[in-house]
Structure 1
Amino acid sequence: MTSLRSVNVTRYLTPLREGGSLPAIAEADDDFLYVLKFGGAGQGPKALIAELIGGELARFLGFRIPEIVFAHLDEAFGRTEPDEEIQDLLKASVGLNLAMHYLSGSITFDPLVTRVDSNLASRILWLDSLLTNVDRTARNTNMLMWHKELWLIDHGASLYFHHSWDNWLEQAKRPFMQIKDHVLLSSANELEEVNADFKSKLNGDVIRSIVGSIPDEWLLKDSPFETADEHREAYAQFLETRLSVSEIFIKGVQDARKALI
């Protein structure tokens, strides 16, 4: 099972207002700064589950991802926060949340400033197609430049099927139509090579190790499944099925690229 460190949040510092779920910069008891994502935010634990799965799959495949940790939030935080909206968020998020190392001094990736080579662009599109990540567009790239290297952040909008679980196994076999809006679409022309490489590395054992690290308390809240294990099994089946038919979403990317011409 994938092992994430756990930290206790010691100071709430700054809300990141550009995030729809009001993430924040916070300090933990290991003296590091983190971008803290709250289980009590609008999409609840589902965004944290998508973040964990997406981020750890990306890390396994060799992408630069800030360290992801479990972050425990004490009930005392909500008592002293003067902003009522933030106070409510903190109170609703007491317990286990998710956080990523804060990359101090990083800047938002700008495709007009930084060129991404074809192989890296193809790898990122493959990942986002697997995860059905709708949030890597020119409007919101969710990529950072840090020490002249490209880092991927924020996979909380991935796996959007889990907001309803309607026909989820069928959805695993479909092309990812929103890939047409991907910020790196025009640069990705090594998709078949990347597909062969990633399929040789990623397998069910890896997927189940990552899915196995999802906390029970996130899975049991508003769950359509009777047990946390059944819920984990569904995530694993979705990803394993999608991986097995990756040629379908690769063709979807290639069709979207042709439409650009």
Structure 2
Amino acid sequence: MSLQPLRHVTVMRYVLPLREGGSLPALADGDDGFKYVVKFRGAGHGVKMLISELLGGLIAKELGLRVPELVFIHLDEDFGRTEADEEIQDLLKFSKGLNLGLHYLSSALTYEPKMVVEAGEASRIVWLDCYITNIDRTFKNTNMLWWKQQLWLIDHGASFYFHHSWQNIPKAARSVFPYVKDHVLLPYATELHKADAFAHSVLSREVLAAIVEQIPSDWLLWEDVESSPEQLRAIYLEFLVERLENSHLFLKQASDARV
């Protein structure tokens, strides 16, 4: 299977920083006339955060969940040299090259826990976050938007935390997900077993391979490992396949957490 490749956009203007994000994302104008929330490779956990954002967003879409369009964002070397804020200037300096952007949902509202979500959708979102080990969809930080009467998922950068240690990956793939107890949608997730069956019906190895193939080689040149981009993609794929095959482990924990 081949997924539709992400579009490439060049940033034309830095509009403003979105300081509510820990990694200092920004609103920027693209050369296609649209605005994007840009996630920078020079921030926080660098390209690994971008990989988490990319994989998490693409898997969410395969599960029928709404995610703003993901695009690859190009940042020229000279971009940001006139920026007055030194912190932002440094961020832009270390982010030249390929970054990631999400289409800006103008006038969207931040999801509030009091907003009721349909059981099937809530269950698929909880399943997704258990699967990709996303620790950041809590009452404190929901990372969801309400736009045009629909729920949209944003910010999957805190997922796949195994890749920060890159050790005993098979064990990480078979691990449970204790953070599910803090998931903001857990009270509405009454159809977790249906969500699990649906995920198994759509996330074939072929689909997961096509998703992993979208990771740019430029993001897989890590100083702390000797593996090639191809070898690293293969490891991500095996993690996803192994975790899917053992989804009953985190599914049981999620179900137990609802009691």
- Hey, what does 2:112 align to over in structure 1? 110
- Hey, what does 1:24 align to over in structure 2? 26
Match of 1:44 among 46, 52, 61: 46
Q: Take 1:217 and 1:120, find their aligned partners in 2: how far apart are those partners? A: 34
TM-fit CA distance, 1:257: 1.2
Matched AA of 2:7: R
Which SS does the other structure have where 1:71 is aligned?
strand
TM-fit CA distance, 1:221: 2.6
- Equivalent runs, 1:84-233 vs 2, <5 Å: 84-112=86-114, 114-233=115-234
Q: Per-residue displacement from partner, 1:61-98 (whole Å, max 9, x unpaired)? A: 11111000000001111311000000000000000000
Matched AA of 1:80: T
Q: Take 1:61 and 1:225, find their aligned partners in 2: how far apart are those partners? A: 33
Q: Take 1:67 and 1:223, find their aligned partners in 2: how far apart are those partners? A: 31
Q: Take 2:58 and 2:72, find their aligned partners in 1: how far apart are those partners? A: 13
Q: Take 2:224 and 2:104, find their aligned partners in 1: how far apart are those partners? A: 31
Q: Take 1:254 and 1:223, find their aligned partners in 2: how far apart are those partners? A: 38
Matched AA of 1:137: T
TM-fit CA distance, 1:222: 2.8
- Hey, what does 1:251 align to over in structure 2? 252
Which SS does the other structure have where 1:230 is aligned?
helix
State whether residues 65 and 121 of structure 2, in contact with CA within 8 Å, keep that contact through their aligned partners in structure 1.
no
TM-fit CA distance, 1:256: 1.1
Identity %: 55
State whether residues 132 and 159 of structure 2, in contact with CA within 8 Å, keep that contact through their aligned partners in structure 1.
yes
Q: Take 1:156 and 1:49, find their aligned partners in 2: how far apart are those partners? A: 8
Which SS does the other structure have where 2:88 is aligned?
helix
State whether residues 13 and 24 of structure 1, in contact with CA within 8 Å, keep that contact through their aligned partners in structure 2.
yes
TM-fit CA distance, 1:182: 0.3
Aligned residues, how many?
A: 257
TM-score by length of 1: 0.96
Q: Per-residue displacement from partner, 1:212-234 (whole Å, max 9, x unpaired)? A: 11111111133524200000001
State whether residues 225 and 231 of structure 1, in contact with CA within 8 Å, keep that contact through their aligned partners in structure 2.
no
Q: Could you list the runs of 5+ residues in structure 1 that have no partner in the other structure?
A: none
Q: Could you list the runs of 5+ residues in structure 2 that have no partner in the other structure?
A: none
State whether residues 4 and 69 of structure 1, in contact with CA within 8 Å, keep that contact through their aligned partners in structure 2.
yes
Q: Per-residue displacement from partner, 1:3-59 (whole Å, max 9, x unpaired)? A: 100010000001000111100000010010000000010210000000000001111
State whether residues 74 and 97 of structure 2, in contact with CA within 8 Å, keep that contact through their aligned partners in structure 1.
yes
TM-score by length of 2: 0.97
Match of 1:58 among 57, 60, 63: 60
State whether residues 23 and 37 of structure 1, in contact with CA within 8 Å, keep that contact through their aligned partners in structure 2.
yes
Which SS does the other structure have where 2:128 is aligned?
helix
Q: Take 1:191 and 1:223, find their aligned partners in 2: how far apart are those partners? A: 38
The RMSD of aligned alpha carbons is 0.9
State whether residues 143 and 151 of structure 1, in contact with CA within 8 Å, keep that contact through their aligned partners in structure 2.
yes
Q: Take 1:224 and 1:173, find their aligned partners in 2: how far apart are those partners? A: 23
TM-fit CA distance, 1:200: 1.0
